[in-house]
């Protein structure tokens, strides 16, 4: 169809386009509400565990006894991790480890909750092993008695985490588990729609999550706050950064126009952690100033705090290095990606949109060679 006569609606970035149906999560951007299968995120954080929430996402059930421990790594996965060069990005490492897992498992389509559980249980062990290998340390075997978040910290540090850290990371895992048709989840659904296996879908999703506009923001929130240094310097620093055309990390969202409910839930978690006290004081002061300046500059476009802002506080508080933040997000989001893959397959239609062609009119190569 000619671009001049093509009257079909086009929305760059698919903004506001309905590209599917889901009964997994509802993201209500106008009112700042997030529910998983109808349950508000705040309630799930207060009363749930990541294992229960993951089961809820995969199956729609709320099994009181659900447990999910980290899985041991197979030979091919360990070999893949050992072969990575020094200084490898943690997201690349996680994607490579999961890819090696897929090569060995040869999963079949359609994806199942069993496949989803296995993938979600494997990823924290892979990331912890990668982090230790990069430091020249031995890999720690998983402890089957520990839940996923605690088990990840144990395998990372080689010692049992304190209760507060394990609970805080579990809360983060719940908050980050699922969020509708974000870029990485949509990627997972596109891949699943081709009848490719779950590992391929998750590897693609990790690739999409790697970008700073999606999953890379929390580590940048840390460097931003380090650079700002004190509340007194915040106003000048923020105005200069915006003047240079830079974006403030941890603010703004494609869907939320109200305060991100995940940021609110994580702020409560961070406030309960002694280890975040100084950092949190600075973060709260800078947040107030940033929101005031953003509102001043964009009176018609509400720009609010997003989940990444307080993610940074919680992940720092449990002792994770910023280089592992995006991959830790991926560990949590595994539940959402795999739940969406299962849902996509259950009523599958190949996802294949149209594109508007804006290039050269049809011409012949012969003419251009002659002229």
Applying CB under 6 A, the residues found at the interface with ligand COA are 213, 217, 242, 247-254, 298, 301, 303, 306-308
Q: With beta carbons less than 8 A apart as the criterion, state whether 169 and 152 touch.
A: yes
CB of 290 to ligand COA, least distance (A): 8
Which contiguous run of DSSP H or E holds residue 28? strand 25-28
Active site annotation includes 298: no
* 161 versus 215: smaller Cβ distance to ligand COA: 215
Of the residues 55, 178, 179, 253, only one is catalytic, namely 253
* 26 versus 247: smaller Cβ distance to ligand COA: 247
CB of 73 to ligand COA, least distance (A): 30
Angle at 49 between CA 68 and CA 64, to 5 degrees: 80
CB of 221 to ligand COA, least distance (A): 7
* 82 versus 301: smaller Cβ distance to ligand COA: 301
Please tell me whether the peptide bond between 73 and the residue prior to it is cis, using omega within 30 degrees of 0. no
Active site annotation includes 179: no
* 206 versus 249: smaller Cβ distance to ligand COA: 249
CB of 96 to ligand COA, least distance (A): 24
Residue carrying the six token digits 């993938």: 119
Q: Is the dihedral of CA 244, 248, 252, 258 positive or negative?
A: negative
Q: Residue 253 has which token pair? A: 């969202």
* 96 versus 224: smaller Cβ distance to ligand COA: 224
* 70 versus 269: smaller Cβ distance to ligand COA: 269
SS3 at position 251: strand
CB of 224 to ligand COA, least distance (A): 10
Q: Is 222 exposed, middle or buried (0-12, 13-18, 19+ CB in 10 A)?
A: buried
**Beta carbons within 10 angstroms of residue 160's beta carbon:** 14
Within the chain, residue ranges assigned H as helices are 41-47, 50-59, 75-82, 90-105, 113-134, 148-157, 163-175, 183-193, 198-209, 217-228, 231-243, 261-271, 277-297, 307-317, 325-346, 365-370
Of the residues 179, 308, 340, 343, only one is catalytic, namely 308
Q: With beta carbons less than 8 A apart as the criterion, state whether 143 and 244 touch.
A: no
Q: With beta carbons less than 8 A apart as the criterion, state whether 101 and 125 touch.
A: no
Q: Is the dihedral of CA 275, 277, 278, 279 positive or negative?
A: positive
Separation between Cα atoms, residue 202 and residue 199, nearest integer Å = 5
CB of 238 to ligand COA, least distance (A): 9
* 307 versus 314: smaller Cβ distance to ligand COA: 307
Q: With beta carbons less than 8 A apart as the criterion, state whether 98 and 126 touch.
A: yes
User: Nearest residue to ligand COA, using CB?
Assistant: 252
Q: Residue 339 has which token pair? A: 């739940």
CB of 260 to ligand COA, least distance (A): 7
Catalytic residues: 253, 308
């Amino acid at each position: 169809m000619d671009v001049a006569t093509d009257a079909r609606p086009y929305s760059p970035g698919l903004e506001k386009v309905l590209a599917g149906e889901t009964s997994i999560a509802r993201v209500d951007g106008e009112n700042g509400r997030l529910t998983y299968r109808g349950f508000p995120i705040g309630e799930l954080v207060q009363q749930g565990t990541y294992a229960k929430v993951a089961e809820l996402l995969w199956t729609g059930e709320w099994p009181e006894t659900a447990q999910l421990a980290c899985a041991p790594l197979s030979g091919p996965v360990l070999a893949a991790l050992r072969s990575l060069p020094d200084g490898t990005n943690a997201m690349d490492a996680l994607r490579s480890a999961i890819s090696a897992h897929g090569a060995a498992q040869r999963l079949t389509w359609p994806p199942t909750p069993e496949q989803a559980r296995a993938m979600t249980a494997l990823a924290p062990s892979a990331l912890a092993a990668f982090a230790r290998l990069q430091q020249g340390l031995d890999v720690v075997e998983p402890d089957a008695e520990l839940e996923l978040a605690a088990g990840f910290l144990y395998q990372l540090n080689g010692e049992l985490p304190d209760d507060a850290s394990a609970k805080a990371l579990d809360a983060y895992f719940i908050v980050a588990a699922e969020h509708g048709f974000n870029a990485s989840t949509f990627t997972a659904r596109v891949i699943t729609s081709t009848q490719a296996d779950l590992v391929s879908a998750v590897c693609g999703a990790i690739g999409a999550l790697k970008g700073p506009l999606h999953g890379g923001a929390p580590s940048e929130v840390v460097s931003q706050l380090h650079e700002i240094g004190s509340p007194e310097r915040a106003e000048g620093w923020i105005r200069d950064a915006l003047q240079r055309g830079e974006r403030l990390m941890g603010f703004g969202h494609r869907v939320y126009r109200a305060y991100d409910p995940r940021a609110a839930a994580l702020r409560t978690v961070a406030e309960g952690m002694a280890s975040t006290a100084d950092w949190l004081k600075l973060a709260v002061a800078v947040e107030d100033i940033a929101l005031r300046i953003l509102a001043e500059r964009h009176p018609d476009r509400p720009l609010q705090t997003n989940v990444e802002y307080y993610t940074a506080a919680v992940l720092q508080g449990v002792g994770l290095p910023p280089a592992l933040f995006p991959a830790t997000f991926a560990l949590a989001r595994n539940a959402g990606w795999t739940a969406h893959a299962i849902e996509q397959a259950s009523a599958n239609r190949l996802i294949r949109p149209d594109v508007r062609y804006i290039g050269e009119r049809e011409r012949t190569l012969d003419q251009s060679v002659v002229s």
